[in-house]
A = this chain, B = another copy of it.
Amino acid sequence: MVRIGIIGLGYWGPNIVRNFSSTGDARVAAVCDKNPVALKQFAQNNPGIKTCSESREIVTAADIDAVAIVTPVSTHFELAQAALGNGKHVFVEKPFTDSVAHAEALIELAEKKDLVIMVDHTFLFTGAVAKIKEIIDNKELGKMYYYDSTRVNLGLFQHDINVIWDLAPHDFSIMNHVVTDRPVALSACGRAHVSRFEDIAYITVFFTGNLIAHINVNWLSPVKIRSTLIGGEKKMLVWNDTNDDEKLKVYDKGIDVTTKESIYDLLVSYRSGDIWTPKIDKREALKQECSYFTDCVANHKKPSNDGRAGLQVVRQLAACDASLRLNGETVAL
């Protein structure tokens, strides 16, 4: 039985509590929040779980094996460092940390202490992303041309980070998970309209090969769009996450190019075939992830979404900030 302490009962925290509670080999031992109102309400609805307002009580508790940190990103480093320092495994919200240096320090500490770090990249545990990874791993798309994501809606404004740090971790973590090419540089442009943080941003990512990726994030859109187009030489797919019944469509569509005599003398022909909408596993992603974390802790396994995966995303977010300050100049990764 893995005993979990949870810090943070804000927007996402209750979901973490609920899912660890329903994971067979885990038990929520205690929760912590600085907000007395949230804490009291939680205590009433969950009489069996200890509550406290000081995170120190969680990270030092003898009867806690792992700490879930579900707080603003600016606090991740200090809390995770304290938890690891006290020999606790760590489950931490995305983005992992607010800087590359902080992420590296935590990874080093966890390795020294032989502890698990898992970064909550929930989307990796959805049926849709699992199916996309399967399709790409099976080489069904052929050589990859582009990865193009739009993630916009009238969003909750974050008070300590810009729209990139809020929304793009989803796209970076998914892209890093399913794409095998290595990203080498990126360019980001954005503007702040409502607060001092960018609320709209456009990110382009370059890879070792010819693959190009693009991420459009926007807190000011009247419509909610969650769509990703992935184009390859042989097939293309569209993941529309707001369409519950047809989330994923694979198009047997593409371009056949024949070079005649000279390289500039192309014969381009279009292929247009069937569309296939695979059945997507509808399991709750967070439940899968909590169960995976429990398994990794109990059986000394290294998760795929570990600290290094979290660091890669933080490195990409930091590069976005650097490019933003340079008005879109390309920044190496």
Interfacial residues, chain A to chain B (CB-CB below 8 A)? 47, 145-146, 148, 150, 152, 154, 157, 159, 185, 187, 189-196, 200, 202, 204, 206, 210-212, 214, 216, 218, 220-224, 229, 231, 233, 236-238, 245-246, 249, 251-255, 257, 263-264, 266, 268, 270, 272-279, 327-330
Contact = CB atoms under 8 A, between A and B. Distances in A.
A231 B223 contact: no
Given A194-B268, A202-B204, A274-B276, 16 more contacts: A145-B191, A148-B216, A150-B150, A152-B229, A157-B266, A157-B268, A187-B187, A187-B327, A193-B233, A194-B257, A202-B214, A220-B255, A222-B237, A273-B279, A274-B278, A276-B277
Contacts of A210: 191-193
A278 B276 CA distance: 8
Contacts of A279: 252, 272-274
A297 to B, nearest CB: 26
Contacts of A195: 257, 264, 266, 268
B220 A236 contact: yes
Contact of A212 (B152, B189, B224, B229): B189
A75 to B, nearest CB: 18
Contacts of A47: 47
A156 to B, nearest CB: 8
A120 B185 CA distance: 38
Contacts of A224: 245
Contacts of A191: 145-146, 210-212
B327 A145 contact: no
A219 to B, nearest CB: 8
Most buried by B among A190, A192, A266, A275: A275
10 contacts: A146-B200, A157-B255, A157-B266, A187-B327, A193-B233, A194-B257, A204-B328, A218-B231, A220-B255, A252-B279
A205 to B, nearest CB: 9
A265 B275 CA distance: 39
A330 to B, nearest CB: 4
Contact of A229 (B221, B255, B276): B221
Most buried by B among A190, A231, A233, A274: A231
B218 A146 contact: yes
A146 B157 CA distance: 17
Contacts of A190: 212
Contacts of A159: 266
Contact of A245 (B150, B223, B231, B330): B223
Most buried by B among A212, A270, A272, A279: A212
Nearest to A157: B268
Most buried by B among A146, A159, A185, A249: A146
A231 B238 CA distance: 25
A67 B276 CA distance: 45
A238 B214 contact: no
Nearest to A232: B220
Nearest to A150: B150
Nearest to A215: B202
Most buried by B among A210, A214, A238, A249: A214
